[in-house]
């Protein structure tokens, strides 16, 4: 089964844009295993920096530097029967590793 990764962008006015990317799961890892690996690396257990190419971007058309930010919010993962739609055709475990590395780089770990 594939794995869907749900995330969102929440602007300073609490307006939300949602994203959902389906990844392959060739290693047949459970959602619980992946969440256990990922969540300690998220800021406050839910936020991660947006990075070009990591996920399809979510941004409102009128970005305001004084109010808006470059953070995304993790919403959840789920087993999915949907077709993989990740533009890079990554495995979910590879994506989680990338996200952990990005968060470590940001935090200076």
Please report, for the chain, the start and end positions of each structural domain, with discontinuous segments joined by +: 2-107
Q: Would the pTM count as exceeding 0.85?
A: yes
Q: How far apart are CA 41 and CA 13, in angstroms?
A: 26
pLDDT attached to residue 69: 81
Q: How far apart are CA 59 and CA 72, in angstroms?
A: 10
Q: Which residues of 24-35 are buried (b: 16+ CB within 10 A; e: fewer)?
A: bbeeeeebeebe
pLDDT attached to residue 14: 87
If you average pLDDT over every residue of the chain, what do you get? Answer: 90
Q: What is the pLDDT of residues 2-38, one digit of tens each?
A: 999 999 999 888 889 999 999 999 999 999 999 999 9
pLDDT attached to residue 107: 61
């Amino acid at each position: 089964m594939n794995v869907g990764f749900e995330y969102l962008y929440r602007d300073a006015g609490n307006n939300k844009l949602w994203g959902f990317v389906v990844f392959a799961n060739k290693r047949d890892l459970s959602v619980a295993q992946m969440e256990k690996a990922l969540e300690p690396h998220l800021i406050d257990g839910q936020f991660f920096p947006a990075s070009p190419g990591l996920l399809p971007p979510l941004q409102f058309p009128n970005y305001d530097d004084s109010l808006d930010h470059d953070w995304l919010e993790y919403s959840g993962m789920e087993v999915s029967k949907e077709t993989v739609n990740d533009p890079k055709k990554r495995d979910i475990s590879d994506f989680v590793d990338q996200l952990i590395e990005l968060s470590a780089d940001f935090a200076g770990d």
